[in-house]
Structure 1
Amino acid sequence: MSFTLYICLYLSFNFILSASILRSGTCQLQGHFKLNGMFKDGDVIFGGLFEVDFLTVFPELSFRTEPEPPYCEQFDMESFQQAQTMAFAIDEINKNPNLLPNITLGYHVYDNCVMLGMAFRAAISLASGTEEYFSNLNCTGPPPVIGIVGDSSSTASIAISSILGLFRVPIVSHYATCSCLSDRKKYPSFFRTIPSDAFQVRAMVQILKYFGWTWVGLVYSDDDYGIYAAQFFQQEIQLFGGCIAFSEILPHDNNLRDIQHITTVIQASTARVVVVFSTPSFLIPLMDDVVLQNITGRQWIASEAWATSLVHHTPRLLPFLRGTLGIAIRRGEIQGLHEFLLRLHPSNDPKNNMLRIFWEKMFGCSYETDSKERDGEQVKKICTGQEDLRTTYTPYTDVSELRATYNVYKAVYALAHAFHDLMQCEEGRGPFSGNRCADKTNLKHWQLVHYLQKVNYTTGFGDHVSFDKNGDALAIYDVLNLQPSFDGSIRVKAVGVVNEGAATGMVLKLDEDALYWNFEPKKTPRSVCSESCPPGTRRATRKGFPICCFDCLPCGDGEISNTTDANECTVCPDEFWSNTDKDQCVSKEVEFLSYEEPLGISLTTASLIGTCFCALVMVIFANHRNTPIVRANNSELSFLLLLSLKLCFLCALLFIGQPQLWTCLLRHAVFGISFVLCISSILVKTMVVIAVFNSSRPEGQGTLKWFGVAQQRCTVLVLTAIQVVICAVWLSTASPTPHKNNQYIRSKIVYECAIGSVAGFSTLLAYIGLLAATVE
């Protein structure tokens, strides 16, 4: 019942309020936020969001009165410099007759206090304006601001762009790097002059790849910046074969137990390189515990969010952070900025309450007439107006390292150039439907977004500024090295550059001679889970470990690897074999029966001795050919038998030496023919002896006439001719050829004669066997 009553009262109130507005014909602002800011009137207003204070104080709540709005403390000099740079850029544009002539730019800049709620309030104030009433029944008209420079935080930029993007309010951030903001569907009007985390991660991976650091630890902050960067980093490092040794998240509440757990993991890990994606505020507790635990021997890799932060440049951290490598956004120079910063004075800009707070912080004085207590201290001094910034060095007046500040300068000029192009549009040549231009009296934010997407200009420092289809700027980073200075503190030295080119991709250039390493000896550290596998081995991943942790196994026989960290060994071609180191394929040793080998020498000797012995017997037979013994032994067949035996002995020489085509053709044929000639002679001699014995018997007296000299010669020739025909058919159809055989011994080539036709060779042997069986 009470809930229903509440709804009714709420609707009634809104109806009455709406009716009053309609009756009066005016639009009324529904509320105001108490915000620190600085303002300048102009024909066109640019908005700005900066982290001028980094501590938000919430007053005590009371249920009797409306809560007091939170307020900001802890003034940040560098962020205030960025806010003043926006004012300087707008002042410079107003003096430039070639850019937005006859149009005066103004600005509304608010402090977001590094607090999402405060940043959101400031953004809503910029988008809706601060006028309490204006007479327009439709609540339309020129927008309070045509574009916003900021916010520097990724988390705040995501929240602000999600709402203001619905109305296509152009936002150009100078420091929000979350890669998620490149999603054009979610954030259609978001741009930035700093590269996204995707480019930052690729630049850091290039450093790891350059030094061969494949085993790294990862620490990141518990915010959008750290989480998205860590996710993308884990994807990118795998592309070049790197691995994450551990991954730890920095708690947003700085819980001591969680911090101690992280330092324990870092100390226990074998990884010598630790990559950190974090803002300085998240990192301070971790560094305190690193000092407490005395964790040395680590190579820190800093993301751009803390690489240049002065918070860590103290002598206390020197032993631990010196040698740190980091990347930083492009450093630039802005002519005239230093003089502009020094000329500022609260009396010259009474609307700039940021400047008043800065002045009071700087000189300990107050513009209040009373001596009320401020920031817990009694203010005793009243500002005299004689205070001079030239006498005091502060980060505010230091323009030697303009990085985020330089991006603010580029962001302001990007909005100015886009608005200039919009104003220069000629009717009938416009980019919108019907070739129309934007209505300059009733400008729509989406029209400026169109021109902002096509911005293309060069700064006075020589840097080209344009945006890709996702609203991201051209990626270029300085590589920094934290080195000890003479006074015992840490100094930052630029040692290289990483540049993203459309054609070349990410290119890293380093001056290695300028690097300082926090190791003994002073040389590049190693950070790998397993040392590289040399040529001749292959990697074998350890079960249950990342791919960077592996064992090196030697390649098998006949396999090689000629590169470092080969995943597989390559099998050598058929005629090659692996060398002793298994890193090259060398020609296999060719093996054949040579005259130099013991077996070859033995066979040659036996062949020559047998040939000589046959020749000697032949000479003896020739000298005694008329003797009864020789004549009774059938001298003609005996000479044929001795000749065939000599050929049998000599054909053995054809089987010795490197096979040639002619030796392969002859060795089997000569052996087969000479052996058949020998057996045929023996067979005929045997048949003659049998015929002689048979002729002594009455029934066999006519047998001998069939074994005359002519018949004996013809029988030997016919039997031998058959073998010649077999050999001729075999050699003409499928003759033996030289052949390199890899089947017997894998590591060697056996050079032999392939028999060609198995049937032909078998027929040759079968015929020899048949004659031999007949002789028996």
Structure 2
Amino acid sequence: MTNFSGDILLGALFPVHERNATYECGRIQDEGVEQLEALLFTLHKINNDSALLPGDKQRFVGIFLILWPLSEDCALSQAFLRGFSSFSSQGFIARSSVGFACADGSSPAYRHGAFDRVVGVIGGQSSAVSIQLANLLRLFRVPQVSYQSTSPTLSNKHRFGYFFRTVPSDVNQAHAILELLRAFHWTYVSVVYSDTDYGNKGYDKLQELAARYRICLSNPQSIAADHYTDPDYDTVIRSLTHRSSARVVVVFADKGAARSLMRAAWRRRARFVWIGSDAWSGLESVAQGHEEVVEGAITVSPMVQPLNGFERHFSQLTPDNNALNPWFPEYWEEKFQCRLPDFQETPFNNQFRLWCPSGGRRPRPGYRGLQFVRDAAYAFAHALHDMQRDRCGSQHQGLCAAMAREMQGDALKRYLEKVSFKDEGGKTFRFLPSGDAPPRYSILNFQRLDNDSGAADGGAPRYAWRHVGSYSLGDDGEAKLDLDLEALRFKADEPRFPHSFCSAPCRRGQAKLQLEGDTCCWLCSNCSQYQYLADEFHCRDCPMGTVPDPESKARCLPLPEEFLSYGDPWAIAALAVAALGAAAVVFVALVFRSYADTPVVKASGRELSSMLLLGLLMSYALTPVIVAKPSAWSCALTRFFLGLCYAVCYAALLCKTIRTARIFGGGRRRLRYTSPRSQLLLAGLLISVQATLAAAWLMLEPPSVAHVYPSRARNVLVCQGSDRASYLLGLVYPSLLIGVCTVYAFKTRKCPEGFNEARHLAFANYTTCVIWLAFLPLFLLSGSPTIRTLALSFLLSLSGAVQTACLFAPKVYIALCKPAKNTREGVMTHHHGGRCAAVGCAMHPPLALNNLAKADNLDNMAAEAAAAAAVANVKPHRGQSKTL
């Protein structure tokens, strides 16, 4: 470990040593030392930047360095775990727990009691190290910025919420390759990938994203580079050539596998457009010896910018003037293969026999990508600068109390998420929502050089990688592919790139029928009349009540709703019948009102007749509700009043017949509850039963509307359940009332004509039953919602018309046309000779007169009728008229 003091500390991790099976630390690793020096160089620039982090410019930002041995096939080493555990125990745990104590029980006194604030960590390099480091740092809510880890796993913000990186994820490379394919309209390509973590994850991401770009990946070939021989590579090329339509091959492989693949293509004289990943992009060694096969290849690689001023700075470093880096002497010895007199002996420098000279040697950095280390440091610096400005004010110098309290954890993380600055290329750098760096890639094209003097002289032609474009995300987050199409070239003898597709796109409304053995080639098939194109491969039936969109065939549109409107001819007929019936009821009511004191009206029972007329009017008034557009309200009213209007009518009729039967069949008993008020109360109780049942039905099964489909091309709006027999539950109770009423009408058939409605009531009931018997099959068996609705409305109107004609028309006729019969004598006339034997008209005359005279609420006509019935119990004298 080492540290470089400052008001704010950053942890940093670099792979200074290689991993070694024998020793804890292996050989010095050049790239780790160069990355460390790049960070020190960057921190020096930050601390000397007058526009960034105002304060003591020599001490504002420092680093606390942890260096660990690294190899490509291992995770965190024991050295790293020990080092970072010490770092975390002295820093993060100590500040997170007041009760933290050292191993010997003493209080922590890190850095001689002056605990500097460690606010974040820069590193690690490999994804394996960064994943384990991120799992540890998130426990202490410490932000981490990696400069080289590219695994897509680290983009998961749910697992790694405090992780950021200044390099793009490998996911973005897949996007760049697919964007390149789409730009050339290459929709059918082959894929070759190495059987490594790099190749497998790259292929998986290509396969995951290909559908989004409408590109088919055909004939994937996996290469086990450690086991493949030349015949195996020849087999891969032979398989690629069998797909004659796939002229483009994406190679997501390491450089060794790519080189062997190109050599096999050269042996078989294969001619493809190669699309390469960053592992072999721009490498001369891949094409060496078979350039004519690689010619035309297009590859992507991360956009690299030189770190301005660093090469000059690094070349001036020596073991004598670089005291900040304790590993620089070891780097010097390994670089120049010599020994330094004052440096300790290691297992790796004891083989050097020469002493290093005092001067004249200048190291040169060889690692590309040092700007990513620089960006990591500047990300922290700008985040801290923004925090200082917000917490301390723009004029404050150094740390303030408010910033010191909120500098760790979530607060700094939020500023890192919003940080923005210029990178070495002058472009704006900011983290994506996933914590990744903006994806920036160079597009390279392997070309034969123009004006090649060697080829002109008969020598071998020369080739080179040429920069032909770039891929990046714009400030608005949109992917941007810039290609110099004039600079791009396939072959010297074929400058234009070939097409690469299997089947032409299908027309609108056609589905692709994939050919067996290849999912990227298809035949086109038309969808049927009522099918839509669910995706490019499948036709699906539209749901009932919908039809395919005639424009796109890619969705289903609802059919227009059908319902019985007031403008329909049948609806007009139903409304007209109901209106005539309602007018007839109103006419009868007016006649009864005008002739209220006449015997014929009195004998019919004015109160119950009024109730009967009200029920008839309700039945006619329900027709406009039934034929209206179905809604929750109209459905509720229909279900409630369908049975209620019948219940009102037959409750009134039942009370009338019961009253007549009791008056003329009471015998010697005293009559009770025969007054109009009692009759109305009884009718109200009978009606309340129906109202209660209907209300309970509505609560148990709330009214709603539904759609029914008599045919595939129709969408009919109806009340929920109107197509089922249960919709007629409201008529069960009125049916019982009709039956009881008919029984009592039969029992009173021989009473005086003015009080006896048995014949008319029986005829009305018989006719109603006939209407119902005709209606029920029509309602239950018809498949047309319109017919069921009309049947229901005509049922109400016809039933009401029968009752109006049978029960009221004779009385209206007598009142208007036969006033001579509208007398007491006419009302008291019997239909047949004899007594009212059917109801037991055996009442003793004096007792009958006495009982009826004491009935306070019986009207005069009823009293007279009862008296007549009592007299009728006495046999008339011979020759006496039977008319009283």
Calculate the TM-score normalised by the size of structure 1: 0.55
Judge conservation of contact 1:539–1:550 (CA < 8 Å) in 2.
no
Judge conservation of contact 2:43–2:377 (CA < 8 Å) in 1.
yes
Judge conservation of contact 1:39–1:352 (CA < 8 Å) in 2.
no
Q: Which amino acid aligns with 1:496?
A: G
Measure how far apart 1:415 and its partner are.
1.0
Q: Any idea what the Cα deviations from partners look like across 1:679-703, whole Å, max 9, x if unmatched?
A: xxxxxxxxxxxxxxxxxxxxxxxxx
**Could you say which residue in structure 2 is the equivalent of 1:302?**
276
| CA distance, structure 1, for counterparts of residue 107 and residue 343 of structure 2 | 47
Measure how far apart 1:120 and its partner are.
7.7
Q: 1:215 to 1:422 in 2, by over 3 A?
A: same
| CA distance, structure 1, for counterparts of residue 273 and residue 327 of structure 2 | 40
Q: 1:105 to 1:177 in 2, by over 3 A?
A: same
Q: Any idea what the Cα deviations from partners look like across 1:639-688, whole Å, max 9, x if unmatched?
A: xxxxxxxxxxxxxxxxxxxxxxxxxxxxxxxxxxxxxxxxxxxxxxxxxx
Measure how far apart 1:193 and its partner are.
1.9
**Could you say which residue in structure 2 is the equivalent of 1:56?**
19
1:497 aligns with 2:461: no
Q: Any idea what the Cα deviations from partners look like across 1:496-537, whole Å, max 9, x if unmatched?
A: 122323657322221122224357523313333x25369899
| CA distance, structure 2, for counterparts of residue 171 and residue 417 of structure 1 | 15
1:93 aligns with 2:93: no
1:44 aligns with 2:8: yes
Q: Which residue, 368, 373, 381 being the options, matches 1:408? A: 373
Judge conservation of contact 1:274–1:301 (CA < 8 Å) in 2.
yes
Measure how far apart 1:127 and its partner are.
6.2
**Could you say which residue in structure 2 is the equivalent of 1:176?**
149
| CA distance, structure 2, for counterparts of residue 128 and residue 484 of structure 1 | 56
Gapped regions of structure 1 (runs ≥ 5): 1-36, 60-67, 397-401, 430-434, 557-564, 569-776
Q: 1:166 to 1:525 in 2, by over 3 A?
A: farther
1:336 aligns with 2:299: no
Q: 1:438 to 1:372 in 2, by over 3 A?
A: closer
**Could you say which residue in structure 2 is the equivalent of 1:550?**
522
Measure how far apart 1:313 and its partner are.
5.9
Measure how far apart 1:248 and its partner are.
4.2
Q: How does 1:360-379 map to 2 (within 5 A)?
A: 360-367=333-340, 378-379=351-352
Measure how far apart 1:112 and its partner are.
4.5
Q: How does 1:530-679 map to 2 (within 5 A)?
A: 530=502, 532=504, 541-551=513-523
Q: For this pair of structures, how many residues does the alignment match?
A: 492
Q: Which residue, 358, 370, 382 being the options, matches 1:385? A: 358
Q: 1:536 to 1:80 in 2, by over 3 A?
A: same
| CA distance, structure 2, for counterparts of residue 276 and residue 184 of structure 1 | 30
Measure how far apart 1:185 and its partner are.
1.1
Q: 1:277 to 1:202 in 2, by over 3 A?
A: same
| CA distance, structure 2, for counterparts of residue 143 and residue 250 of structure 1 | 51
| CA distance, structure 2, for counterparts of residue 311 and residue 148 of structure 1 | 36
**Could you say which residue in structure 2 is the equivalent of 1:326?**
299
Q: Which amino acid aligns with 1:417?
A: H
| CA distance, structure 2, for counterparts of residue 250 and residue 52 of structure 1 | 32
| CA distance, structure 2, for counterparts of residue 134 and residue 519 of structure 1 | 73
Judge conservation of contact 2:10–2:121 (CA < 8 Å) in 1.
yes
Judge conservation of contact 2:448–2:492 (CA < 8 Å) in 1.
no
Q: Which residue, 102, 105, 120 being the options, matches 1:147? A: 120
**Could you say which residue in structure 1 is the equivalent of 2:70?**
113
Q: Any idea what the Cα deviations from partners look like across 1:137-174, whole Å, max 9, x if unmatched?
A: 57697578432222233333223212222222221122
| CA distance, structure 2, for counterparts of residue 347 and residue 152 of structure 1 | 28
Q: 1:195 to 1:344 in 2, by over 3 A?
A: same
Q: Any idea what the Cα deviations from partners look like across 1:368-414, whole Å, max 9, x if unmatched?
A: 57998976994232111213327xx6635xxxxx6x32222111100
| CA distance, structure 1, for counterparts of residue 491 and residue 433 of structure 2 | 42
Q: Any idea what the Cα deviations from partners look like across 1:242-297, whole Å, max 9, x if unmatched?
A: 2222334455xx5314896466324422344332445xxx4324524642674653
| CA distance, structure 2, for counterparts of residue 407 and residue 246 of structure 1 | 37
Q: 1:258 to 1:443 in 2, by over 3 A?
A: farther
Q: Which amino acid aligns with 2:63?
A: G
Tell me the SS of whatever aligns to 1:57.
coil
1:395 aligns with 2:366: yes
Q: 1:344 to 1:211 in 2, by over 3 A?
A: same
1:444 aligns with 2:408: yes
Q: Which amino acid aligns with 2:11?
A: G
Q: 1:257 to 1:330 in 2, by over 3 A?
A: closer
Judge conservation of contact 1:541–1:547 (CA < 8 Å) in 2.
no
**Could you say which residue in structure 1 is the equivalent of 2:434?**
470
Measure how far apart 1:463 and its partner are.
1.7
Judge conservation of contact 2:262–2:294 (CA < 8 Å) in 1.
no
> Over aligned residues, Cα RMSD in angstroms?
4.3
Judge conservation of contact 1:428–1:436 (CA < 8 Å) in 2.
no
Tell me the SS of whatever aligns to 1:166.
coil
Q: Which amino acid aligns with 1:421?
A: D
| CA distance, structure 2, for counterparts of residue 536 and residue 47 of structure 1 | 59
Q: How does 1:729-748 map to 2 (within 5 A)?
A: none
Q: Which amino acid aligns with 2:156?
A: D
Q: Which residue, 68, 74, 86 being the options, matches 1:128? A: 86
Tell me the SS of whatever aligns to 1:422.
helix
Judge conservation of contact 2:258–2:280 (CA < 8 Å) in 1.
no
| CA distance, structure 1, for counterparts of residue 440 and residue 309 of structure 2 | 24
Judge conservation of contact 1:120–1:159 (CA < 8 Å) in 2.
no
Measure how far apart 1:209 and its partner are.
0.8
Judge conservation of contact 1:334–1:461 (CA < 8 Å) in 2.
no
Tell me the SS of whatever aligns to 2:516.
coil
| CA distance, structure 2, for counterparts of residue 438 and residue 262 of structure 1 | 61
| CA distance, structure 2, for counterparts of residue 223 and residue 162 of structure 1 | 24
Judge conservation of contact 2:305–2:425 (CA < 8 Å) in 1.
yes
Q: Which amino acid aligns with 1:412?
A: A
**Could you say which residue in structure 1 is the equivalent of 2:226?**
255
Q: Which residue, 405, 418, 426 being the options, matches 2:383? A: 418
Judge conservation of contact 1:220–1:248 (CA < 8 Å) in 2.
yes
Q: 1:51 to 1:285 in 2, by over 3 A?
A: farther
1:71 aligns with 2:26: yes
Tell me the SS of whatever aligns to 1:90.
helix
Measure how far apart 1:339 and its partner are.
1.7
Tell me the SS of whatever aligns to 2:435.
coil
Measure how far apart 1:58 and its partner are.
0.5
Q: Percent identity?
A: 25
Measure how far apart 1:90 and its partner are.
0.8
Tell me the SS of whatever aligns to 2:219.
strand
Judge conservation of contact 1:483–1:490 (CA < 8 Å) in 2.
yes
Judge conservation of contact 1:323–1:517 (CA < 8 Å) in 2.
yes
The range that moved more, 136-145 or 240-249, is 136-145
**Could you say which residue in structure 2 is the equivalent of 1:664?**
none
Judge conservation of contact 1:38–1:354 (CA < 8 Å) in 2.
no
